[in-house]
Amino acid sequence: MVSNQANSPQHHLKYCLGMLVALLVWPQPQAMAQSLQLKEPTQIYQLSTPQQVVVPPQQLGEIVPAPVSETVTSQQSLLASPQLNTLITRELPGLWQMRVPLDQVGSLYATYEIKSVNGQNNRFNSDERFEQTMRVVVEPLPIIEISRDESTNTALVQGGVRLQFDLANTEIAGGYGGVLTVTVNRR
């Protein structure tokens, strides 16, 4: 005699619930925004930075403004260029970390330099066409203390940047890259 338990509604419900629980606890893929995993510096004035930072790509909503309903009244307004956002901003708040003496936390400042692969300042190169560049403005974010070690009289501080990409004169879609140099000094 063959059991009908495998085809019963209760067995089917248990199977579906089991699959649902498995899907909920299965590791989810990481979000597109990059979290920078830095190795914590152990020595005083040791700067810890990632070797490569991937800036999340721009989304359509950043370039095209919110939908607006307009009425076309002439051929000139019909042929007018669309209004697009040409400045895209990305923040990288935890770009670097450094361990410093407690009494020097407030005296630190960071400078940042962006260069394209072909040596142009404040620009990134196209991955596809070396001569095509995009202007990048770097704005330092405040340096913040993230932890203290009273036994060594040191603090762990971190800093980052806000990058503003100017797409106004960019002729080629795709990836762009360059070199970001971080220098941390004391006043």
pLDDT tens digits, one per residue of 127-166: 888 889 999 999 999 999 999 999 999 999 999 999 998 8
- Domain ranges (residues) in the chain: 46-55+82-187
Most confident of 16-25, 45-54, 104-113: 104-113
Q: Kindly report, residue by residue over 40-87, the tens digit of the pLDDT.
A: 888 888 888 877 777 766 666 777 776 667 777 888 877 877 777 888
What is the token pair recorded at 178?
């360059």
Q: Mean pLDDT over all residues of the chain?
A: 78
Which of these CATH numbers, 2.30.230, 3.90.79, 1.20.1510, 2.60.40, describes 46-55+82-187?
A: 2.60.40
